[in-house]
């Protein structure tokens, strides 16, 4: 696909680059492409515009890949919410509503808590 976009933008901008280096191909292959094919096309278009010479140079067109929260040992918001709700449910002996219920301790309506419990897949074992 990179070669296809290179050909397309060589014609559009009247450039003759012709080659994509192995290093560039590896960089393109290692990137996660959250924007899919449109993002690849934009990167190649920018590279054609800025390349000097006959080998495609993507420079810093690829954003730095950010580490996910999991790779840094952090939980997602949903995981934190699930853990917190479980702790409160255990504290209230799984009582959801009422004066000493989990919903009241969490500051939410019983129906909201029940919806979150269902959404997060929380089940009493």
Tens of each residue's pLDDT in the chain, 125 residues? 889 999 999 999 998 988 888 888 888 888 877 777 888 898 899 889 888 888 888 877 776 544 455 556 777 888 899 999 999 999 999 999 999 999 999 999 999 999 999 999 999 87
pTM of the model as a whole? 0.50
C-alpha 44 chain-centroid distance: 21
Protein fold of 2-56: Helicase, Ruva Protein; domain 3 (1.10.8)
Q: What is the dotted CATH code of the domain comprising 72-119?
A: 1.10.10
* Domain boundaries defined on the chain: 2-56, 72-119
Which residue in 77, 27, 34, 108 sits closest to 2, CA to CA? Answer: 27
Rounded Cα–Cα distance for residues 104 and 99 (Å): 7
CA-based nearest residue to 88, from 49, 122, 44, 51: 122
Give bridge partners of residue 20 from the DSSP assignment.
56
């Amino acid at each position: 696909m990179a070669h296809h976009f290179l050909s397309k933008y060589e014609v559009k901008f009247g450039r003759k680059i012709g080659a994509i280096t192995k290093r560039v191909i590896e960089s393109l292959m290692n990137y996660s492409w959250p924007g899919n094919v449109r993002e690849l096309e934009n990167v190649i278009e920018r590279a054609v515009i800025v390349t000097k010479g006959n080998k495609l140079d993507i420079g810093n067109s690829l954003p730095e890949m950010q580490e996910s929260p999991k790779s840094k040992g952090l939980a997602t918001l949903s995981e934190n919410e699930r853990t917190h709700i479980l702790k409160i449910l255990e504290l209230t002996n799984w009582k959801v509503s009422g004066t000493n219920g989990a919903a009241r301790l969490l500051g939410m309506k019983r129906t909201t808590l029940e919806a979150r419990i269902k959404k997060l897949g929380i089940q009493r074992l």
